[in-house]
Structure 1
Amino acid sequence: MALGTDTGGADAGTEVPALSGAPLLGSLHDLKSDSLGTYLRAQQRHGDVVRVSAGPPGMRADLYCVFSPEGVQQVLASQAANFRKDNAFYQEVRESFGNGLLTSQDEDYLRQRRLVQPLFTRRRVDGYAGAVAAETASVVTAWEEALDGIVDVSDEMTHLALRAVTRILFGTDVEATADVVARCFPVITDYVLRRGYSPANIPRNWPTPGNRRAAAAMEELYGVCDRIIGQRRRAGAHAYGPSPSGPAPSDAGASGEDLLTLLAAARSSDDGEFDDGELRDQVLIFLLAGHETTATSLCFALHLLARHPEQQDRAREEITRVLGGRPPQASDLERLPYLSQVVKEAIRLYPAAPVIGRKAVAATRIGGHAVPAGADVILAPWVTHRRPEHWPDPDRFDPDRFTPEAEAGRPRYAWFPFGGGPRACIGQHFSMLESVIALAMILRAYSFEAVDAEIPVSAGITLRTEGPARCRVRRLDTPRAVSG
């Protein structure tokens, strides 16, 4: 959420109800201290479309929050052209992580999407299952030495997801990059959030301590990406493997077919190819979106199962029955339906992107209410995923909400953790693949019991844990894994 300026009125529709706030700052304090709770309260009090005002007079922002599945579909899909990524928050992300697929717009976005799409076909993504399994195996082995049998699944899943996406992006350069990303990303994301929540910001080039820390982190992160890109260019992209249209890899890095190599080789007669700066932008966005989101899904899936032993046992029974002692493969995704339902229910309750922002470029009627041109529009999966008319007893963990029959009975946008419409997340199949493979291997090896009953969360660029998510793990007697 970012604060901007007040907007004008729209010609059609009734006035949007407003959430009450403090006389001077409106809901600014509430949004900064608990934005997710504030949005949930706004929906519960006022319904599908609610205006939330924040900031001092003269700098106040009106946020038009849309909570119904039908309204979400209108913003993301059916009238997506009316809603752009032009708000101040996306600008902060763009200035820190580049103009990649997440942040670009218009022809830049369409060109990038066309070049990148062949690298994210289901067949191509399935080829990275081996890389995910290899990194998960390292975690499973390391937990054998866990102190008192207790692990913080938030930290551990962040480590796993970061190493997996780094391996897939950079192949054999994973060791040189994972530590830099782990060190620099928190500094940069905190900087983006501080500026995104502020009604006014000083220029980035002023030599304040915060600006200097962020600049140093960006310089280090950009430097390691530029170094590896330079190595790829000097070696020649085709020396690392076939073109993006060639055979899918069996394991990232095994034959030089890491994602960076494929990005460097991506080209078409109409769209050309990525230059070095564009390559870095794509890499940074994939690092951001590819590890924090999956880490969130894995963390909460494990913690929820740790709190619900019956569902944990049911998932493990399916895993043992389907896999026995062999490593999981991409084709097992369809053979593990209950485990997939566990992942979907975990990201219903804890969506990695709990809040999505857009800017209205034209006056629009949503749910009978007038949303003016120029308005900051907020969508909140955190809220829509808890609408009781679509999710009875919404705070209860119940993977059976995602049987095919149950899914068919709900509106399309009652659940939208990966966005939707023309800008739906290109990596959603990879996220599900990684989550199911990692959970299958971990649950086959260990049982889980929650130490921390609840995990406080907040909305950052992605959903953030505000405390540990500790579980007591116990090694299980499992069949010996065999290769193949």
Structure 2
Amino acid sequence: MTTADAGSDDTAAPTTAAATAAPATPAAPATTATAVARVPGPPGHPLVGSLFDLTRRPLKTYLAARREYGDVVRFTAGPPGLRAEFFMVFSPEGAHQVLGTEAANFRKENNFYAELRTTVGNGLLTSQDAEYLRQRRLIQPLFTRRRVDGYVNAIALESAALAERWRAVPDGVVDASQEMSRFALRTVSRILFGTDVEAAVEVVGRCFPVLSQYVLDRGFAPVLLPRSWPTAANRRGAAARRELYEVCDGIIAERAVRATRGDGGGGGEGAGRADGPVSDDLLELLTRARGEDGERLDPAELRDQVLVFLLAGHETTATSMAFALHLLAKHPQERRLAREEADAVLAGREPTAADLDALPYLTRVLKEAMRLYPAATQVGRRVVAETVIGGYRIPAGAQVIVAPWVAHRHPDHWEEPDRFDPDRFLPEREKERHRFAWYPFGAGPRACIGQHFSMLESVLSLGVLLREFDVDVIDRGVRLGQGITLEVNSPMRIRLTSRG
């Protein structure tokens, strides 16, 4: 997840190419003996610091800050007496330190994470320490490659339904961002709830945007009003949270009743493959999950995990798929190569899990889309003990933000960083790069547990859509914003031509 301020930016304009285990004990914080105490950064306005730049054009502001001040930059924002200070880390080496080697010294403790915990519960995304390790041990077996591959039938079902709906669009024009958001939400809901998918999709699609904005506004408010005060924002947030909780609690309670009657879980059409290694939906597996000592998730914990999977499992995947389609629509040569691969691998049949490895070019397209447009543009942490990043002393208690948006464009690691070139992710070229030069799923001991699921869903569904349709771009430039994840704030229309 991201700890982003709201704002908007024009997209970059990439041009075409020429042709989990338990966390290890982190290293001790770096010595401060020779570190520079004063971190450089923009002076900002005397009254509000860099507030306007950070809220109106944050993505451009971060890129400009790296160019002018280097890989560690100090920002201040807000009026005197309420001014916040934070440090942004732009280099892959710095991200490696924050998320990897010193991960225990950088905690998920800030106003944003506090608001997120209160709103969607203390699931894998927000929990820490012993509680996080407990949850991870219970849930990790549900996200092995074998388990995740069992959900390919749900992906195939929703991909086919989307293609059928697209064939009925009168003028062949769709908004890639809106379509992929709807598709990803339906897919993750089907995998979570099986045949109960329709009960959740409408409520989640309507309530999550309200809650996301509510969390964002409160997470970065200079003065935080109590949630009990009857403000318009509090009422909207409470109503959306209540409705979302009710639908999840209702499905979980119904599963408990079914289990008591011996009716089984929510497996069936669109959950796992009936003839494959898994036949139950994810909620059923979560309900049955047991630790070594027999511990299990209670109903409230089940709801917390479900809400995290719904939030993180559809917004990030939708962003990646939308930009992959958008970029292919803009670049005919890359589109042709991806389409030819999809035709050869998926000709006349539904996709299978084994097809993921058989679609290397489309996988590279997706990785390049996630490089240029990472769903999590930045990731925030609080420093526990004073440390050194990039030669600068960072005090205990400071807020530190690593920024995939900038690291993915860092000129020391990416040649012509604004150019769209899927072949950057050829295996031999990936081996040459710093492993934190690309981290759209986070990294280190808190890396996203659903990486394989996201790649499986994205690559296979894009393959199906490219097999069925040719795509051409209408809106070449797209306005971006920063919410909890990267936002598209203008139309992202593409024109579809059925391939028969």
Q: Name the TM tier (shorter chain).
A: over 0.9
| CA–CA separation in structure 2 for the residues paired with 1:41 and 1:161 | 33
**CA, structure 1 residues 72+444, in 2 after alignment: closer, same or farther (shift >3 Å)?**
same
Match of 1:278 in 2: 301
Q: Is the contact between residue 175 and residue 493 of structure 2 (CA under 8 Å) also seen in structure 1?
A: yes
Q: Distance in 1 between matches of 2:39 and 2:216?
A: 27
- Answer whether contact 1:360 1:377 (CA < 8 A) is retained: yes
Is 1:464 matched with 2:487? yes
Alignment pair present for 1:88 and 2:108:
no
Task: Give the partner amino acid of 1:412.
Answer: R
Is the 8 Å Cα contact of residues 154 and 465 (structure 1) preserved in structure 2? yes
Could you tell me which amino acid in structure 2 is paired with residue 32 of structure 1?
T
Residue 240 of structure 1 and its aligned partner are, at CA, apart by 2.9
- Aligned partner of 1:233 among 248, 256, 259: 256
- Measured against aligned partners, the alpha-carbon deviations of 1:435-458 in whole angstroms (never above 9, x if no partner) come to 001100000000111100111111
Quick check: 1:262 aligned with 2:282?
no
Question: For residue 13 of structure 1, what is the aligned residue in structure 2?
Answer: 35
Query: Which residue matches 2:199?
Result: 176
Which residue pairs with 2:69 in the alignment?
A: 46
Tell me by how many angstroms 1:296 deviates. 0.3
Indicate which of 315, 319, 327 corresponds to 1:296: 319
Alignment of 1:54-203 (within 5 A): 54-203=77-226
Q: 3-state SS of the aligned residue for 2:154?
A: helix
In 1: Cα distance, 2:438 partner to 2:293 partner: 36
Residue matched to 1:363: 386
The CA deviation string for residues 70-106 of structure 1, in whole angstroms up to 9 with x for no partner, is 1100000101000000011111111111100000011
The CA distance in 2 between the partners of 1:381 and 1:133, in whole Å, is: 31
Residues 252 and 434 (structure 1), Cα distance of their counterparts in 2 relative to 1, 3 Å cut: farther
TM-score (norm 1): 0.93
2:348 aligns to what SS in structure 1?
coil
The answer to whether the 8 A contact 1:386-1:394 is kept is: yes
What do the CA deviations read for 1:222-243 (whole angstroms, capped 9, x no partner)? 0000001111122228853699
Please name the residue that 1:320 is paired with: 343
Residue 57 of structure 2 aligns to a residue whose secondary structure is: helix
Return closer, same or farther for 1:271/1:343 CA change in 2, 3 Å cut-off.
Answer: farther
- Answer whether contact 2:266 2:284 (CA < 8 A) is retained: no
3-state secondary structure, aligned to 1:147: coil
Following the alignment from structure 1 to structure 2, what is the Cα–Cα distance between the partners of residues 185 and 2? 17
1:251 shift after superposition: 5.8
Aligned-pair CA distance for 1:411: 0.2
Deviates more, 1:67-76 or 1:11-20: 11-20
What is the CA distance between 1:147 and its match in structure 2?
3.1
Asked if the contact 1:83–1:359 (Cα under 8 Å) also holds between the matched residues in 2, the reply is yes
Q: Distance in 1 between matches of 2:379 and 2:145?
A: 26
Aligned counterpart, 2:19: none
Amino acid at match of 1:411: H
| Contact 1:100-1:285 within 8 A present in 2 as well | yes
Match of 1:481 in 2: none
Where do 5+ consecutive residues of structure 1 fail to align?
4-9, 478-484
* CA shift in 2, pair 1:93/1:12, >3 Å: farther
CA contact (8 A) 1:167 1:252 kept: no
More deviation in 373-382 or 230-239? 230-239
1:333 aligns with 2:379: no
Q: Are 1:407 and 2:427 an aligned pair?
A: no
Q: 1:75 to 1:312 in 2, by over 3 A?
A: same
Distance in 1 (alpha carbons) for counterparts of 2:44 and 2:239:
38
Please state how far the C-alpha of 1:11 moved relative to its aligned partner. Answer: 6.7
1:240–1:20 distance in 2 versus 1, CA, 3 Å: farther
Unpaired segments of 5 or more residues in structure 2? 6-31
Question: What is the SS of the residue equivalent to 1:464?
Answer: strand
1:40 deviates by 1.3
Runs of at least 4 residues off by over 4 Å: 251-256
Tell me what 2:9 maps to: none
Conservation of the 8 A alpha-carbon contact between 1:27 and 1:52: yes
Work out the number of aligned pairs and report it: 467
- TM-score of the two chains, using structure 2 as the length reference: 0.90
CA distance, structure 1, for counterparts of residue 47 and residue 310 of structure 2: 40
Cα–Cα, structure 1 residues 93 and 231, in superposed 2: closer, same or farther, change >3 Å?
same
1:447 has 2:470 as partner: yes
Post-superposition offset of 1:323: 2.1
Distance across 2 between alignment mates of 1:252 and 1:193: 43
How far residue 166 of structure 1 moved from its aligned partner, in angstroms, is 0.3
1:215 is matched with: 238
Counterpart Cα distance in 2 of 1:394 and 1:275? 47
